[in-house]
């Protein structure tokens, strides 16, 4: 994974090679990865689709992850216009590496519209300043593969509910399982650059990137297993609905829940709020938890 915010934002600067095709770079010198991070493909697909739309803002994204991408080969994004209506623009984005299709996405844009305003209230949770850091919460498990996560100093993460590893360790051996909830606050570690605060598309791409980090946390809590104890845990699809512009100058609340895990599939849903309680984005992802035959 990239180690600085600048490296992450550079990933979203896809290169226009003509004919509706864009090239997305890979993180430099990241030899530890065995597959492309899904959030990176999501964000680059959004950036590529937006290059073909003018005067409209992003409002939804629906992605199907088809194959694990090679993290050492650039990604090719082919953008096709499916709709150019009076209110909506829809683009299909096909992500390839050579002849291999890695992902298919539908990205939709909308004209600015004045209309009624309603949202589900933000849940009442502890303030981020009152919560322990992720390093403190995962200190007993640092040798179980969490050292890299703790070193990832792009965002500060403070869990309101115990992180999956802590929740699973403290779960009762018997009894009725509780609600699978995993809420956390997120904030950029360093001061956000001015372009991130002034460019709605750039901030939406970063939100798409970050939204894939923890969305399957509540699934792990629900089944009582972490990724270390599963034979497989992989993203199948990813959907986002953008309600309001995101402001990365303050904390964001990621309210994540798992309605279901059955048949080798676990569903994670999330709502992202800003510090003022405004709903910024809704996220849904299904993960594959089944065993290989």
Sheet holding 100-110, edge to edge: 15-18, 21-24, 75-84, 88-97, 100-110, 57-65, 234-242, 279-288, 265-274, 252-262, 181-188, 155-159
**Among candidates 33, 22, 21, 28, which has minimal Cα distance to 70?**
33
Q: Which residues contact 253 (CB under 8 A, 6 or more apart)?
A: 122, 123, 125, 183, 184, 185, 186, 272, 273, 274, 275
Residues assigned a catalytic role: 212, 235, 285
C-alpha–C-alpha distance, residues 119 and 283, integer Å: 15
Query: Residue 42 and residue 236: Cα distance in Å, rounded?
Result: 12
- 214 in Cβ contact with 283 (< 8 Å): no
Do the bridges between strand 100-110 and strand 88-97 make them parallel or antiparallel, or are there none, so unpaired?
Answer: antiparallel
- Is the Cβ–Cβ distance between 226 and 168 less than 8 Å? yes
């Amino acid at each position: 994974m990239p180690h600085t915010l600048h490296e992450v934002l550079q990933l979203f600067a896809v290169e226009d090679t003509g004919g509706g095709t864009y090239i997305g770079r890979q993180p430099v010198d990241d030899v530890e990865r065995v597959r492309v991070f899904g959030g990176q493909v999501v964000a680059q697909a959004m950036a590529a689709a937006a290059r073909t739309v003018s005067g409209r803002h992003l409002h939804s994204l629906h992605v199907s992850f088809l194959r694990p991408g090679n993290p050492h080969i650039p990604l090719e994004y082919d953008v096709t216009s499916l709709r150019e209506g009076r209110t909506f623009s829809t683009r299909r984005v096909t992500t390839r590496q050579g002849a291999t299709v890695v992902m298919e996405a539908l990205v939709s844009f909308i004209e600015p519209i004045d209309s009624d305003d309603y949202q589900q209230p933000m849940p009442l949770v502890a303030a981020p300043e009152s919560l322990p850091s992720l390093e403190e919460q995962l200190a007993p498990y640092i040798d179980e593969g969490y050292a890299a996560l703790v070193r990832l100093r792009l965002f500060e993460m403070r869990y309101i509910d115990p992180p999956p590893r802590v929740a699973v360790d403290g779960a009762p051996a018997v009894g009725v399982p509780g609600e699978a909830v995993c809420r956390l606050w997120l904030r950029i570690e360093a001061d956000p650059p001015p372009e991130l605060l002034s460019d709605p598309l750039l901030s939406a791409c970063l939100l798409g990137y970050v939204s894939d980090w923890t969305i399957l946390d509540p699934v792990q809590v629900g089944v009582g297993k972490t990724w270390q104890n599963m034979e497989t845990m992989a993203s199948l699809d990813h959907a986002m609905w953008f309600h309001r512009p995101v402001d990365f100058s303050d904390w964001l609340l990621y309210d994540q829940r798992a309605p279901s895990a059955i048949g080798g599939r676990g569903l994670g849903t999330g709502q992202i709020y800003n510090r003022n309680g405004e709903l910024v984005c809704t996220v849904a992802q299904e993960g594959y938890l089944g065993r290989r035959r």
